[in-house]
Structures are given as C-alpha cells and as structure tokens.
Chain A
C-alpha cells in the first residue's frame, strides 16, 4: 500500500513538485524500498534525463522568409478588403447612389446587348475616315506624278472612294 502511494508521487518527486514534507516522505521510502528505488532510477536514466539533455534544434533559415511572404500577402489582402469596405461604407451613407448605379449598369447592358458591333463599327469608321483624309490630301496637292494619283491597286476602299 505504501509503495502504491509512493509510485503515484514519484513523478512529482522527480520533477520537484512536492512540498517539503511529502518530498522527504518519498525520499525516505526510496532509500528503503528496492523496487520503488529502481523505478525512480530507471525513470530518470531512461526517460527524463535523455530528454532533458537533448539538444535544441535550430529553426531552418527558410522559415522566416515564408513567414514574411505570408504576412506580406495577408497585408495586401487586408488593404484590398479595407478599400472595398470603404466603398461599402460610402454607399451606405449615400444609399441613393446604389439604385442609380444599378440603373446605369442595366441601361448600359441593354445598349451593348442590342448593339453588339458598336465598338467594332466605330473602329472601322475611324479607319475609313483616316484613309479618306490621307488620300484626299495626296490628290489635292495638284502634281500629276504625285504618289497618290498613280496609286491604283483596285482595292475595295479605292472603289468606294473614286467611283
């Protein structure tokens, strides 16, 4: 019975976690009980001391770089989030802007949907106007042997302009 009680306290004894009275009680028992004494020595020699004497292993150098990168990415995300949040707060203060913005987006969508070639057509028109202007300038300089007057490649644009 005495041994069971001591064995329950043996780790506290090894770790110096007992009050003075109990410490002395365990110490006294360990001196007179070979089994409990052996258990204490085995625990110290095979489990506790090897771990306590173990070397501290240094953190690899790459860890800090990864931490720094992760913090940088997170900081950027926070910045984007704060800007978005700022807009949300602004719109909340001016609620009339939300339906106005939605209406504009709706009308633009309808307009673009109904005129799918609007941007394409505009580009073609601009190109044709440029060409007309430059050809007109060539033909207006009055010289017979001008580059513009001899030029006839029978292209669609020439047919369009000179017919």
Chain B
C-alpha cells in the first residue's frame, strides 16, 4: 500500500472528497485484490471494496492518527471480505470457478495490460478455495501482501500463534491437494 500523507488523511477525515479520492487511488488496488482473493468472486469483491471505502470514509473522523492507517484499512478489508465470504452458502461451487474469475478480471482491466497468469499460480488460486475464509486471509496477507506474522496478528486482531497455525494448516492443505492431484494424473 502506498503511503498516504497525514495531511491528506486529515482533509479526508473532514469530508474533503478530493483528499478522499487520493486515499482511494493509493489503496483501491490493494483492497480490491485482497477482497478478490478472499471472496474468489469479482462482483462480491467489488461490493466488498465499496463497503470498505464507505467504512473508511465514515471511520476516518474517529481515526486515531497515532495508529497505523495501513493496518486499520487492511483490518476493515479482511473482516468485510471474510463476512461476505461466509454469507455465501455455495462456497464450494463458487471456488470451482475461482481461477477463471481471477483470469476474467485480469484480462478485463486493460487490453494492453493483459496479465498472463501462470498455470502454477492458477492452480494455487483454485486451491485457495479449499481453505476457510480465515485461512485464506492469512495466506493472502502473508504471501501476496507480504505482511509479517506480527502485522497479520495486528490486522486480524488475533494471537500470533493463531497466525502460525492458520498459515501452517493452509499451506499443508494446499500442498496435500497438489500431491493428490499429481498422483491422480500419474495413474
């Protein structure tokens, strides 16, 4: 996430829409990306992103500027995405199309900037569907956003050992599935 100056944040907290647009421009891609990886669905990720920005807009006036804005926005994003994901009952079916969803969004962004998703990455993305929303959140924050364990614990307001166990179980589950698929292909 790009750094946002305190001046911009102060102005945005007072309802200045051009300052809030600057905040949006600095954070929207990160927020949308996390929402998409956790929900696995483009429309839902868009709704999550809108919801997050409304929460940020409403919460900015009460935001304590000594806290970390990045952690605060990530926390809102992850919690909103997890809740949206849990609301959906047909999780298994949705994740069957996970990698296709990601590919559609990528190629739809800009015709000159079509992202070539590697096969290995697509496989892993589809395997994210095997995880529960909390495990996905940990994996996304660690492996895509590059958070430390401590930062993940802070963003999700959980114990650092819970972060460890979620990451460990998530990675092991993905690896087991890959090995299983490899065995089936070899048969």
Where the two chains meet, the residues of A that have a C-beta atom closer than 8 Å to any C-beta of B are 8, 11-12, 15, 17, 42-43, 46-48, 50-60, 62-64, 66-68, 70-71, 74-75
Contacts and interface: CB of A to CB of B under 8 A. Distances in A.
Contact of B139 (A42, A51, A56): A51
B50 A70 contact: yes
B133 interface: no
Interface stretch (B2-10, B25-33, B62-70, B84-92): B25-33
A59 B49 CA distance: 8
Contacts of B50: 63, 66-67, 70
Given A12-B164, A60-B46, A64-B28, A54 B171 contact: no
9 contacts: A43-B175, A47-B178, A50-B123, A51-B143, A52-B144, A56-B144, A60-B108, A63-B49, A63-B53
Contacts of B102: 57
Interface string B112-152: 00010110110111000000000000010011101011000
Interface of B: 15, 17, 20-21, 24, 28-33, 36, 42, 46, 49-50, 53-54, 57-58, 102, 105-106, 108-110, 115, 117-118, 120-121, 123-125, 139, 142-144, 146, 148-149, 164, 167-168, 171, 174-175, 178-179
Report the 6 A-B pairs with minimum CB-CB distance, sorted nearest first. A59-B32, A51-B143, A59-B28, A50-B121, A67-B53, A50-B124
A64 B29 CA distance: 11
Nearest to A72: B17
A70 B46 contact: no
A59 to B, nearest CB: 4
Contacts of B105: 57, 60
A55 B174 CA distance: 20
Contact of A51 (B42, B58, B144): B144
Nearest to B125: A54
B148 A17 contact: yes
A52 B115 contact: no
Contact of B33 (A50, A53, A56, A62): A56
A11 to B, nearest CB: 5
A47 B33 CA distance: 18
Contact of A17 (B123, B149, B171, B179): B149
Contacts of A64: 21, 24, 28
A142 to B, nearest CB: 73
A75 B148 CA distance: 38
A98 B33 CA distance: 54
B32 A47 contact: no
Contacts of A11: 164, 167-168, 171
B124 A42 contact: no
A70 B124 contact: no
Contacts of A52: 143-144, 146
Given A17-B149, A67-B24, A54 B175 contact: no
A60 B24 CA distance: 12
Given A17-B149, A60-B42, 4 more contacts: A50-B124, A51-B124, A55-B106, A59-B46
Contacts of B167: 11, 15
A67 to B, nearest CB: 4
Contacts of A48: 143, 171
